[in-house]
């Protein structure tokens, strides 16, 4: 699949199932992620692979996270939280590991991780699988970060659910470009 086709046809599948990419394909996708634009070549991304039985452990981490939040959850809410770990056969937790750098502010390091995630999603799609990107409150819970072995200064940028799409996504409507042409101060015209 050529690059433009991959970009244009990537969509978040509604549901994912088996199989997940095998290790060789996953390494290809992670290698694609690692080619993201990266000011200072700081490689600020960290990827944690969660699959198989480890998803039960992740489910408990998500349940504990919800239990710490207000309002107190019902059993049904806890069950829904637990189910999130089983939305896909493979979850890649994408994190940013920013460092203090004289030339590269933290925001640039986090953007680089976003670019790496997009590369990974596109590679997964080009390899014939599907993936979707989620965050939600667990991404911002220091207890979840700690359980995943991340440092306090790290940020969870996304939970990437990866597997085989169970259905074709609906056609994508046209998306506005939000592009203008700037030819000087006060001279901005539609593109
Ligand atoms: C940083 C980030 C976090 C996101 N978190 C969520 C989320 O928690 N829940 C959700 O429904 N969509 C989330 N999305 C959006 C979806 O991943 C997806 O991009 C969106 O639904 C558009 O669908 P598409 O990927 O098919 O274009 C997030 C996107 C980004 C970039």
The model's pLDDT over 36-74, given as tens digits with 9 standing for 90+, comes to: 999 999 999 999 999 999 999 999 999 999 999 999 999
- Phi/psi of residue 93, each to 5°? -85, 120
pLDDT tens-digit series, residues 157-174? 999 999 999 999 899 999
Atom of ligand 1 nearest to the CA of 157: 1
Looking at the domain that runs over 3-167, which CATH code has it been given?
A: 3.40.109.10
- Ligand 1 mean position to 77 CA, how many Å? 21
- Phi/psi of residue 48, each to 5°? -115, 125
Q: pLDDT value at position 162?
A: 99
Q: Residue ranges of the domains in the chain? A: 3-167
| Among protein residues, the one whose CA lies closest to atom 6 of ligand 1 | 134
Which segments of the chain have a pLDDT < 50? none
- Ligand 1 mean position to 160 CA, how many Å? 10
Q: Which of 149, 147, 126 is nearest to 138 (CA)?
A: 147
What is the chain's mean pLDDT, rounded? 97
Q: Give the pair of three-digit tokens for residue 23.
A: 């290790």
Q: pLDDT value at position 120?
A: 99
Q: Which of 125, 121, 115 is nearest to 36 (CA)?
A: 115
Distance of CA 155 to the CA centre of its chain: 12
115, 122, 132, best to mutate for ligand 1 pocket (most atoms within 8 Å of CB): 132
Residue 147: count other Cβ atoms within 10 Å of its Cβ.
17
Atom of ligand 1 nearest to the CA of 169: 26
- Ligand 1 mean position to 60 CA, how many Å? 23
- Ligand 1 mean position to 169 CA, how many Å? 14
- Ligand 1 mean position to 74 CA, how many Å? 26
Q: pLDDT value at position 109?
A: 98
Torsion of the alpha carbons at 164, 47, 106 and 35, rounded to the nearest 10: -70
Q: pLDDT value at position 102?
A: 98
| Among protein residues, the one whose CA lies closest to atom 10 of ligand 1 | 134
Q: pLDDT value at position 15?
A: 97
Q: pLDDT value at position 98?
A: 98
Cα 133 from Cα 147, distance rounded (Å): 20
- Ligand 1 mean position to 7 CA, how many Å? 15
Pocket, ligand 1, Cβ cutoff 6 A:
11-12, 132-136, 158
Q: pLDDT value at position 141?
A: 98
Cα 29 from Cα 71, distance rounded (Å): 39
Atom of ligand 1 nearest to the CA of 139: 8
Q: Which of 166, 170, 171, 191 is nearest to 181 (CA)?
A: 191
């Amino acid at each position: 699949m050529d690059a433009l086709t991959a970009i244009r046809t990537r969509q978040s599948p509604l549901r994912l199932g088996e199989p997940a990419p095998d290790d060789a394909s996953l390494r290809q996708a992670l290698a694609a992620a690692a080619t993201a634009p990266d000011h200072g070549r700081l490689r600020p991304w960290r990827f944690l692979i969660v699959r198989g039985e480890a998803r039960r452990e992740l489910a408990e981490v998500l349940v504990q996270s919800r239990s710490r939040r207000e309002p107190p959850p019902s059993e049904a809410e806890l069950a829904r939280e637990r189910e999130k770990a089983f939305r896909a056969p493979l979850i890649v937790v994408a994190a940013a590991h920013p460092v203090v750098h004289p030339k590269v502010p933290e925001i640039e390091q986090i953007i680089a991780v976003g670019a790496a995630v997009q590369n990974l999603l596109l590679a997964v799609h080009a390899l014939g699988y599907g993936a979707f990107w989620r965050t939600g409150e667990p991404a911002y819970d220091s207890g979840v970060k700690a359980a995943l072995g991340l440092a306090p200064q790290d940020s969870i940028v996304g939970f990437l659910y990866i597997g085989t799409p169970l259905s074709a996504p609906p056609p994508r409507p046209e998306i506005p470009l939000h592009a203008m042409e700037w030819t000087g101060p006060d001279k901005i015209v539609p593109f």
